[in-house]
């Protein structure tokens, strides 16, 4: 298990100097943020980012993310040029030593929360999602949710939602298949492992189709092109927001098949209505048994990349909600501790 940490580049208030001090930290997960979506990432931009990270004694082998342009998801004629650009970006990443690319195929937005700072009893704040609050929103009157407003103007968002109106799940699956057939051969050729991130949350929202929600969807995704280059980012928090998803069993199945290339580990507290909020990584704080999830990875022989996913904002820290230093650092140490404990227990049993 290779422990990594998400870093948003020079604008990130969390410094690489601090990240390197987290015990057991192996590498950084980041991306090139100054190139428009759909355009090729130049080698020099990737190399500059790589050199910055490696100068702090950290590895840089995982990209999160190379965004998929909406025209590809919509199946527009421009998708062939955009897919060719995506393939060239993969070649450039491989040239720079990158090994895994996390991405998603969620229409319009890659995550949804109704609050960025839900207060918890211990005084910390966290990301949360309310089914009732989302149900009260009329997309025709505009959508105002945390994290959405800065992506599109109201007019742009309304126009984009209108373009998606005729796109159902099967159509989106067809567009995903077209995309994968366009980029997986290149990924295989250059040694890049593509790692699809599930929908967050794993359910349709505002009439937008969602197609990576559960075990059946993960199986269907991998079957489109059955090759190691077509793999998963298994996010426990995203899939865990649906109580019907057994994360431990998903890890056993897909890590056992060698198809999980990147693991996002976070805990969520979920109720029967589908409301959830993010908690510390500790098993007793959320609805997921992180100890059993880590054990499943260990017993599957997982040797891939993991990162502590979203954390609470604790100890007065400010900045990008969910991406503070302190709680994610605690999460990394907790996860490494679980792994070490399982490893030592296995060694003692073998003696």
Tell me the CA distances in angstroms from 296 to 250, 280, 292, 343, one per residue in order.
9, 20, 6, 12
Structure tokens at 82: 């955009």
Every domain of the chain and the residues it spans? 2-350
Chain CA centroid to CA 27, Å: 16
Domain 2-350 belongs in CATH node 3.30.950.10 = no
- Does residue 65 have a cis peptide bond before it, meaning omega lies within 30 degrees of 0? yes
Rounded to two decimals, the pTM is: 0.95
What tens-digit pLDDT sequence spans the chain (351 residues)?
Answer: 999 999 999 999 999 999 999 999 999 999 999 999 999 999 999 999 999 999 999 999 999 999 999 999 999 999 999 999 999 999 999 999 999 999 999 998 888 899 999 999 999 999 999 999 988 888 777 676 765 555 677 788 888 889 999 999 999 999 999 999 999 999 999 999 999 999 999 998 888 999 999 999 999 999 999 999 999 999 999 999 999 999 999 999 999 999 999 999 999 999 999 999 999 999 999 999 999 999 999 999 999 999 999 999 999 998 889 999 999 999 999 999 999 999 999 999 888
Q: Which active-site residues does the annotation give? A: 197, 235, 264, 309-310, 323
Tell me the CB-side half-sphere exposure of residue 75, using CA atoms within 13 A: 15
């Amino acid at each position: 298990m290779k422990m990594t940490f998400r870093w948003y580049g020079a604008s990130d208030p969390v410094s690489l100097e601090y990240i390197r001090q987290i015990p057991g930290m192996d590498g950084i997960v980041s991306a090139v943020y100054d190139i428009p979506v759909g355009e090729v990432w130049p080698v020099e931009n990737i190399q500059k980012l790589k050199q910055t990270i490696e100068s702090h004694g950290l590895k840089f082998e995982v990209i999160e993310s190379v965004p998929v342009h909406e025209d590809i998801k919509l199946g527009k004629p421009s998708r062939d040029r955009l897919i060719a650009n995506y393939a060239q970006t993969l070649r450039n990443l491989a040239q720079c030593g990158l090994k895994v690319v996390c991405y998603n195929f969620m229409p319009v937005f890659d995550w949804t929360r109704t609050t960025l700072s839900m207060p918890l009893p211990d005084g910390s704040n966290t990301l949360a999602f309310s089914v009732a609050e989302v149900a009260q929103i009329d997309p025709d009157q505009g959508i105002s949710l945390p994290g959405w407003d800065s992506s599109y103007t109201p007019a742009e968002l309304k126009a984009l939602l209108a373009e998606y109106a005729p796109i159902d799940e099967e159509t989106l699956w067809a567009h995903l298949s077209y995309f994968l057939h366009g980029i997986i051969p290149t990924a295989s050729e250059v040694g890049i492992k593509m790692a699809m991130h599930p929908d967050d949350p794993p359910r349709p929202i505002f009439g937008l189709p969602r197609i990576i929600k559960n075990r059946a969807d993960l199986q269907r995704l991998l079957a489109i092109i059955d090759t190691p280059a077509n793999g998963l980012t298994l996010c426990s928090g995203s899939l865990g927001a649906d109580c019907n998803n057994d994360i431990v069993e998903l890890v056993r199945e897909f890590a056992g098949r060698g198809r999980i290339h990147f693991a996002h580990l976070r805990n969520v507290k979920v109720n029967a209505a589908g409301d959830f909020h993010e908690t510390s990584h500790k098993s007793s704080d959320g609805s997921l048994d992180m100890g059993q999830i880590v054990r499943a990875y260990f017993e599957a022989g997982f040797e891939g990349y993991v990162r502590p996913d979203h954390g609470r904002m604790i100890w007065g820290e400010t900045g990008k909600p969910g991406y503070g230093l302190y709680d994610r650092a605690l999460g990394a140490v907790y996860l490494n501790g679980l792994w070490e404990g399982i490893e030592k227990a296995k060694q003692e049993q073998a003696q």
